[in-house]
Amino acid sequence: MRIKNKRNAFCNTEKLQSKIDVLFHYRIIISFLLLFNCISSYSQQASIYGIPFGSTFSKVEQTLDQKLFTGKYINYDRSILEYHDVNMAGIIFGSLIISFNNTGTDNIMTNARFSSCYKSNTTQLKKDREELSQKLSQKYSYMRSYINPIGYKSYEFGFSEDYIVGELSVSVLRKDQSSFGMDYYYLELNYNPKPSDSSDL
């Protein structure tokens, strides 16, 4: 009887230890998944020049002043920060306009728009557009091309179909809408990072 009781006690102890081991491994797996999600969330953070969207006005201005070395404009309430003749991925854009929202404690970066005028040189515009789209595809896992309302190929990009960061598009100022006497074409790189219910523009 004593031997049987000892065997039962040993079996119960073994079962308990087995359950403890399972719980221990389960906690390790959960911790790993949480860490992986944190890393994924961090890596899936939209940015320009290494500055994450959501950064404060002072941080954005200080960083860009050190990187761009160009003239800038700041509006009176610090909701707009504009730089001229900036280099983005090897392409010179005539302007970079960054928008900020006031949170009550500080202004944070929410949008950024790079724009460059090609006048009537659509050949160079298309070349720069495709070169830039290739570089964007190396950073963002989601890319979709589409034909915009004026008939030009454009792209939207982001981390997934439900997390669109921005778009690379073409716009045109028609000669009958301006005093230039010719059509002016613009390549625009717009960052407006926010989750989206649809990938349609």
Contact criterion met (CB below 8 Å) for 176 and 196: no
Contact criterion met (CB below 8 Å) for 101 and 77: no
Give the full edge-to-edge strand order of the sheet including 91-102. Answer: 72-74, 80-88, 91-102, 107-119, 184-195, 163-173, 153-160, 142-147
What pairing do the DSSP bridges indicate for beta strands 163-173 and 91-102?
A: unpaired
Residue 164: the pLDDT is 93
Q: What DSSP state is assigned to residue 78?
A: S
Which mean pLDDT values do the consecutive 10-residue runs of the chain (201 residues) have? 53 56 46 35 74 95 94 94 94 96 92 94 94 95 94 95 94 77 91 58 29
CA-nearest of 174, 188, 191 to 93 is: 188
Residue 174: the pLDDT is 82
Residue 183: the pLDDT is 86
Residue 199: the pLDDT is 32
